[in-house]
Amino acid sequence: MNTKTSRSQKKEQTKALLISTAYEIFSERGIQAVRMSDIASAANVSHGTVFLHFNTQEALIAEVVQYYCRQIAACTHELSEGCHTLRELLSAHLEAISKYELFYKRLVIESRMLPIEARDAFIAIQSALSFHFSLVLEKEDVPSLPASILFNMWMGLVHYYLMNDDLFAPQGQVIARYKTILTDTFLSLLEKESHPRITN
């Protein structure tokens, strides 16, 4: 039994290695663009080993994406919990995303072309944030607009910058670069005494 345990431990280790290796490569090169053998060689295991742990390429993608999406969701959740204001929450969100920026960007770009489970996992991150968003919105003195639209507006905005990161931040780090302005602008729109108007 000891043997079995150490064996399966070893197996789990290898699987974990494959998952984290895939994460790195996916972040760098994109998800669809990576071949199974690329992951194998990057992880220093044999090509066949990848199939020992994942029946198909689809399964591997699904698992890797699920694994990291759960992490991102958890991270988002954690950073969001202490937030009492929308500003805090938005910052927390961007902070969470920026920890996984490259990978998250790939998900934004490719999610619709991935196996359904991967897509679902990606959506789940958004649900996690959505929950906190609703909570905070209730507390704040905020316009009586559909919360879901406001949330989607924020998500859309952030994803738009990630999707076009090459245009907005050719040097990389879109989130860091636009963090403040995105947050500020979004919040301004929600503020009561609105904004200074440009009156002709």
Partner DNA sequence: AATGAATGAGCTTTCATTCAT
Partner DNA sequence: CATGAATGAAAGCTCATTCAT
Residues in the site for DNA, rule: CB under 7 A?
3-4, 6-8, 10-11, 13-14, 35-37, 45-53, 55-58
- Residue of 32, 37, 85, 180 that binds its own copies (CB under 8 A): 32
Q: Does 13 bind its own copies (CB under 8 A)?
A: no
Q: Does 160 bind its own copies (CB under 8 A)?
A: yes
Radius of gyration of the chain (CA): 20
Q: Which is nearer to its own copies, 45 or 157 (CB)?
A: 157
CA distance 167 to 90: 23
Q: Does 73 bind its own copies (CB under 8 A)?
A: no
Q: List, as one string, the DSSP characters of 30-69.
A: -STT--HHHHHHHTTS-HHHHHHH-SSHHHHHHHHHHHHH
The interface partner of residue 187, options being its own copies, DNA, none and the CB cut-off 5 to 8 Å by kind, is none
- Residue of 112, 121, 170, 176 that binds its own copies (CB under 8 A): 112
Helix (H, G, I), strand (E, B) or coil at 142: coil
Residue with the two structure tokens 């974990």: 16
Q: Does 163 bind its own copies (CB under 8 A)?
A: yes
Q: Does 199 bind its own copies (CB under 8 A)?
A: yes
Tokens of residue 56, six digits: 């198909």
Provide the minimum distance between the beta carbon of 32 and its own copies in the complex, in angstroms, as a whole number.
7
Q: Does 172 bind its own copies (CB under 8 A)?
A: no
CA distance 47 to 130: 40
- Residue of 16, 52, 74, 145 that binds its own copies (CB under 8 A): 145
Q: Does 143 bind its own copies (CB under 8 A)?
A: yes
Burial 18-38 (b: 16+ CB within 10 A, else e): bbebbbebbbeeebeebebeb
